[in-house]
């Protein structure tokens, strides 16, 4: 870790805890900053705040009082989930206080090569693919995953060395809070409309995503989806060397498909059909991963072997198991229609689709063309009626209402036959019934295990 002096004896406010806030506070404290932590949760319900107080860090809990800024902070490190409309952030910006996110802090102290990945969908899968490939048969150093994937970047940056890489998943929320962060390799997998409630408009969302390349120079690389005309245009502002990938066009300077073989700069890498995770979107994720790992010198054999064995990231079109000829897939991370469309496109056999969740006011008409292969639709949560109406428009004959994901598993099994897929891909956020998409996905997996155990007992 670089022992930087920027924060020594400076007053820094860490706004919002969770994993990133806790680790940012600890890192700043170790760098000699005068740290104050402010979290909305009350102190007696806040073990993270209690731990930091015991470490000698000042803690203010139970709200975000604007009066805190009377203490003349020189920096604010903001939890990405706290919106810029929050009064304390609005006031800080008016006062000219720099507001950064934890990933910026991690970049400042890191000695490792940074690979940054952003996009509307596919970030976690691509991040994981890249790390797996780089760690294959490795003799020195390690590729670490960090950032929006769940492991705080500031934690990894304290222990990784110049022999390592940090493969950092970067959300638009995190990228809004950078000043100097500069990936040696930046990847933009795709851009669609998302998080408009946070950013206020699609243009601002896109601007946040494009910040991943704003500090790059001619010695850096920007890997980008060339099948999106918008991204082709946007990358003209980057100073980095552009490495495009495309499923539709042969690109001699990038990654492309020809006769179902994936090529990197005219060098055959692997057959498209050998990629284990289903769907054209995962072909794109793999192409981005191939580009990044080839730039970093990984061998073709290691790339092929990893992608042929990669079963998916948990909750992202994750193959759970097969039982009595049915294959169960957990795609709980599909919190919007686009992600569910991508999941549905990955299967050629009949599908029993489990969907539903938080109602954000949108309809699901864009799913209709993708439901042609859905044999039965099982709906739950606040959007159950809307999704059932969408299923009717698509001509699905079997539509069932259930209470939750757990109940959906049993009904799905009863409606399915050998050779079919049972797919949880909700097209909605989880918060109407589950604390997170991970909790929802775990409920699905646990219900499958329970179903199998009960079925086996009945047959004994």
**Is 126 within any annotated ligand binding site?**
no
CA angle 284, 285, 291 (to 5 degrees): 90
Sheet holding 185-188, edge to edge: 143-147, 165-169, 113-118, 185-188, 221-225, 241-246, 255-258, 261-264, 267-271
Q: Which two three-digit tokens encode residue 245?
A: 């990938």
CA contacts within 13 A on the Cβ side of 258 = 13
Q: Which two three-digit tokens encode residue 34?
A: 């005068």
How far is residue 83's CA from residue 87's CA, in Å, rounded to a whole number? 9
How far is residue 78's CA from residue 217's CA, in Å, rounded to a whole number? 27
**Is 119 within any annotated ligand binding site?**
yes
| Nearby residues of 409 by Cβ (< 8 Å), 6 or more positions away | 354, 422, 444, 447, 448, 451
**Is 124 within any annotated ligand binding site?**
yes
How far is residue 198's CA from residue 282's CA, in Å, rounded to a whole number? 27
Determine the straight-line distance between the first and last CA of the chain, rounded to whole angstroms: 58
| Nearby residues of 390 by Cβ (< 8 Å), 6 or more positions away | 363, 364, 365, 367, 368, 371
Q: Which two three-digit tokens encode residue 394?
A: 């698509």
**Is 159 within any annotated ligand binding site?**
no
**Is 346 within any annotated ligand binding site?**
no
Backbone angles phi, psi at 192, to 5 degrees: -130, 180
**Is 300 within any annotated ligand binding site?**
no
**Is 32 within any annotated ligand binding site?**
no
**Could you tell me if 276 and 308 are in contact, meaning their C-beta atoms sit under 8 angstroms apart?**
yes
Long-range contacts of 230-233 (CB under 8 A, 24+ apart): 230/191, 230/206, 231/188, 231/190, 231/191
CA distances 404 to 31, 341, 386, 407, Å, are 47, 21, 16, 6
Annotated binding site: 119-125
Annotated binding site for ATP: 119-125
């Amino acid at each position: 870790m670089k022992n930087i002096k920027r924060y020594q004896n400076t007053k820094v406010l860490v706004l919002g805890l969770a994993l990133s806030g806790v680790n940012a506070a600890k890192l700043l404290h170790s760098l000699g900053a005068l740290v104050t932590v402010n979290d909305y949760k009350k102190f007696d319900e806040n073990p993270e705040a209690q731990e930091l107080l015991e470490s000698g860090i000042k803690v203010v809990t139970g709200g975000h009082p604007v009066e805190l800024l009377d203490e003349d902070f020189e920096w604010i490190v903001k939890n990405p989930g706290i919106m810029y409309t929050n009064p304390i952030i609005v006031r800080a910006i008016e006062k000219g206080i720099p507001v950064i996110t934890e990933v910026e802090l991690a970049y400042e102290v890191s000695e490792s090569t940074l690979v940054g990945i952003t996009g509307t969908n596919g970030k976690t899968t691509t991040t994981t693919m890249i790390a797996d490939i780089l760690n294959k048969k490795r003799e020195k150093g390690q590729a670490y995953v960090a950032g929006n994937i769940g492991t705080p970047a500031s934690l990894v940056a304290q222990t990784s060395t110049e022999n390592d890489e940090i493969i950092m998943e970067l959300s638009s929320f995190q990228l809004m809070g950078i000043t100097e962060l500069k990936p040696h390799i930046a990847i933009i997998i795709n851009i669609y409309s998302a998080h408009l409630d946070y950013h206020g408009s699609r243009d601002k969302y896109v601007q946040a995503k494009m910040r991943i390349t704003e500090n790059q120079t001619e010695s850096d690389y920007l890997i980008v989806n060339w099948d999106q005309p918008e991204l082709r245009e946007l990358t003209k502002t980057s100073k980095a060397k552009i490495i495009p990938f495309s499923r539709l066009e042969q690109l001699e300077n990038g990654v492309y498909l020809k006769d179902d073989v994936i090529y990197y700069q005219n060098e055959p890498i692997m057959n498209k059909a050998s990629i284990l995770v289903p769907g054209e979107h995962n072909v794109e994720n793999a192409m981005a991963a191939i580009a990044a790992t080839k730039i970093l010198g990984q061998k073709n054999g290691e790339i092929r072997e990893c992608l042929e064995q990669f079963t998916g990231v948990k909750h992202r079109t994750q193959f759970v198991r097969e039982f009595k000829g049915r294959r169960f897939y957990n795609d709980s991370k599909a919190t919007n229609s686009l992600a569910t469309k991508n999941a549905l496109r990955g299967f050629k056999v009949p599908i029993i689709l489990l969907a539903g969740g938080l109602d954000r006011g949108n309809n699901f008409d864009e799913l209709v063309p993708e439901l042609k292969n859905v044999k039965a639709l099982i709906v739950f949560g606040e959007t159950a009626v809307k999704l059932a109406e969408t299923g009717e428009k698509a001509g699905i004959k079997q539509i069932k209402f259930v209470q939750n994901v757990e109940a959906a598993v049993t009904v799905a099994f009863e409606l399915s036959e050998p050779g079919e897929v049972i797919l949880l891909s909700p097209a909605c956020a989880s918060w109407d019934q589950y604390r997170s998409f991970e909790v929802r996905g775990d409920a699905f997996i646990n219900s499958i295990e329970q179903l199998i155990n009960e079925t086996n007992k009945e047959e004994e």
